[in-house]
Amino acid sequence: MNNRLLFLILFLFISTWAHPQISPDTDNILYVNKSVSAGSEAGNSWKNAIPELADALKWAKQNENNWTESVDSLQIYVAKGTYKPLYSPEDENFGNDASRLNTFLMVHNVQLYGGFDPDNGVKNITDSRILSGSLSIGGGSILSGDVNDDDGADFANNLENSYHIVVSSGAVGTAVLNGFSITGGWAQGGAEYISVNGNEMSADRGAGVYNSYSSPRLINVALNGNKSKSYGAGIWNDTSSPLLLNVTLSANTSGYSGGGMYNYNSSPTLTNVTVSGNTALKSSGGGIYNFATCSPNLTNCIVWNNAGGGISGSLTTGAKPTLSYSLVQGVDNTANNGLDGKKANNAPQFTDAANGDFSIQNHSSVINAGSNAAYSAAGGNLDTDVDLAGNSRVDTEIIDIGAYEFQLAPIAPSTDNIIFVDKKITNGNGSGDSWINATSKLAYALKYANENQEDWSATIDSLQIYVAKGTYKPFYSAVDESFGNPNGRDNSFLMVKNAQLYGGFDPATGIVDLTNDRILPSLEGTILSGDTYGDDGADFDNNDENVYHVVVSAQSAGSAKLDGFYITGGNANVDGFTYVNGEFISTGDGGGIHIKEGSPRINNVTVIANNARYGGGMHLVGASPDLTHIALIGNNAGHGGGMIISSSSPSLTYVTIVENTSNNYGGG
């Protein structure tokens, strides 16, 4: 064999070894793992994983005509680790190293999934991937524009960073970005433009993600710590309508508008998205800025603590977002099932926003305040999806607002058969077995009590529920066919057989058990309110959303008791009926308390400012309750402003009935 032939064979061998032939597995999946230590690097298994995502995407782009929107779409599974964009996305320079112009280009019908950990058994899409949305709490698969790994906490030393980390341009079909943290983009290229798929893109916008005439799906993604010279540091949308599901936009900074997101002639759909801690330095829209003809749709979203305002834009040109089931700081959004962002007590209560942890604490107002139907309509799967921390997307029955789902501990009474409730609790596991572990909603405790009522006898095994001071709203329906689910005005606190409720505790000042002097009915004690939006005012206006009955007792109550509460805001003003425990309950009777059959004990209770067609404060039908130390004050009804007694024989001891009104008969 001559030397020339030997050299040629050796050259071909080395070339083949250095540049393996990429080939997906039989399910059309490519595997990427930064930490792979052996294998062929063909990408057809975790053992043969491709070390760089950039190489997998370059190959996918070069072969994009092979990927259809159905069974032939390409999937790329990316193991945990930090990946850098290595190639230019530009039409005339695609696949070459172009320094700061390098980016990860989304490819038509190619779906990217991150968060795998093959060394620990996380190999398939059905496994629990590492989806942590914060770089400080778990990592996962990180796409970083910090080429030299030297930015630091204050985003210094960023002059070499990529302009854009991810670019989507033109039609992308079923392209998906799912399970990534995106950080370290620095779009400050002035008037520099590049062309990708025939569209021009500015190098001073969209440091995290740049969408141009495209509508990719971003699912389980965190866009953190990106910076743009002018607009849209986290995401820039130009004539695009991307879908964002379970996404956080945080700590992004733009020189002018749209720290988190800038929409130009774009109508993105945001579902369970958290936009917080972003900054617009010289203009408005620290969270989101909308310009020109835009109609962004935000559902189950949180927009909070953004410098330069939450959502703003040029409204005169038609840039008007639609908000529903969302919490936007400074915006009263209650007309669309949202939370009033003007009220400080609706703050989302992030665990540690200062350090990038946007999970929520157990007393947050966003818990169970979202819409399951809206999440499903956006493409989510409530049975299998997880949040950005890798937890179940729905922990109880209703989804939380934002990108994280609070994981409630199962309710478990103490050894003395007591459940502790405190809406101001800021720690603990929420199980209710002590004041430290108190559950934050009385509704949770009562639902548990009702579902386990066969365990409570009328004697030593009765259940007690201790409720700390504060205002509590009925969160679940008491109606038989919808019990335990939020159902608007049908929500009510249902008295449970042999369960005894005591209010007026204040663990912060040592009022912790029944031997202490509780704060008995007053605005300083424990309030049960039917005013869902908290907006009734002194004259009981704005009450169309108020629940029909604040408290309902139906059928035999055994040793059930209500002791130490201030009950207000019920509005039983509708001629209709429901069934509770098999009993017919009129939606026009008993705004404060409706008792049908049974003999519960109602002690140390004030029923004030409730409304009904019959029995504004209280309506008794076929019941014989023990009413002791009761005040019926300032209630209104068509008949029986304070109380209506129908076929009932209550025992009234130390009862005050004053300042109630009736439009017809029986003011008191």
Tell me the pLDDT tens digit for each residue of 248-290. 999 999 999 999 999 999 999 999 999 999 999 988 889 999 9
For residue 441, which phi and psi values (nearest 5 degrees)?
-125, 130
How far apart, in whole angstroms, are the C-alpha atoms of residue 362 and residue 436?
Answer: 12
User: Which CATH number among 1.10.3470, 2.160.20, 1.10.8, 3.40.50 corresponds to the domain 22-377?
Assistant: 2.160.20
Count of C-beta atoms within a 10 Å radius of residue 13: 10
**Contacting residues for 71 by C-beta, under 8 A, at least 6 apart:** none
The alpha carbon torsion through 581, 586, 588, 594 (nearest 10 deg) reads -40
How far apart, in whole angstroms, are the C-alpha atoms of residue 519 and residue 511?
Answer: 9
Helical segments of 250-405, H only: 372-377
The single residue listed with the structure tokens 């103490």 is 414
What Å distances lie between residue 145 and 105, 187, 257, 358, CA to CA? 13, 10, 21, 22
User: Rg of the chain over CA atoms, in angstroms?
Assistant: 30
What single-letter DSSP state applies at residue 298?
E
- Regions of the chain with pLDDT less than 70: 1-19, 71, 132-138, 190-191, 314-319, 458-460
How far apart, in whole angstroms, are the C-alpha atoms of residue 75 and residue 530?
Answer: 50
**Contacting residues for 66 by C-beta, under 8 A, at least 6 apart:** 72, 74
Give ranges for CATH 2.160.20 in the chain.
Answer: 22-377
For residue 60, which phi and psi values (nearest 5 degrees)?
-60, -40
Helix (H, G, I), strand (E, B) or coil at 439: strand
**Could you tell me the pTM of the whole model?**
0.75
Per the CB < 8 A criterion, the answer to whether 52 and 22 are in contact is: no
Q: Spell out the SS3 assignment of 244-278.
A: EEEEEEECCEECCCCCCEEEECCCCEEEEEEEECC
Strands 217-224 and 463-468: unpaired
**How many residues are there in the chain?**
668
- Which of these, 567, 572, 607, 606, lies nearest to 590 by C-alpha position? 572
Mean pLDDT score of the chain, rounded to an integer? 89
Count of C-beta atoms within a 10 Å radius of residue 174: 16
Per the CB < 8 A criterion, the answer to whether 548 and 591 are in contact is: yes
How far apart, in whole angstroms, are the C-alpha atoms of residue 463 and residue 80?
Answer: 48
Tell me the pLDDT tens digit for each residue of 82-126. 999 999 999 989 999 999 999 999 999 999 999 999 999 999 999
111: left (phi over 0), alpha (psi -120 to 50) or beta: beta
How far apart, in whole angstroms, are the C-alpha atoms of residue 587 and residue 364?
Answer: 30
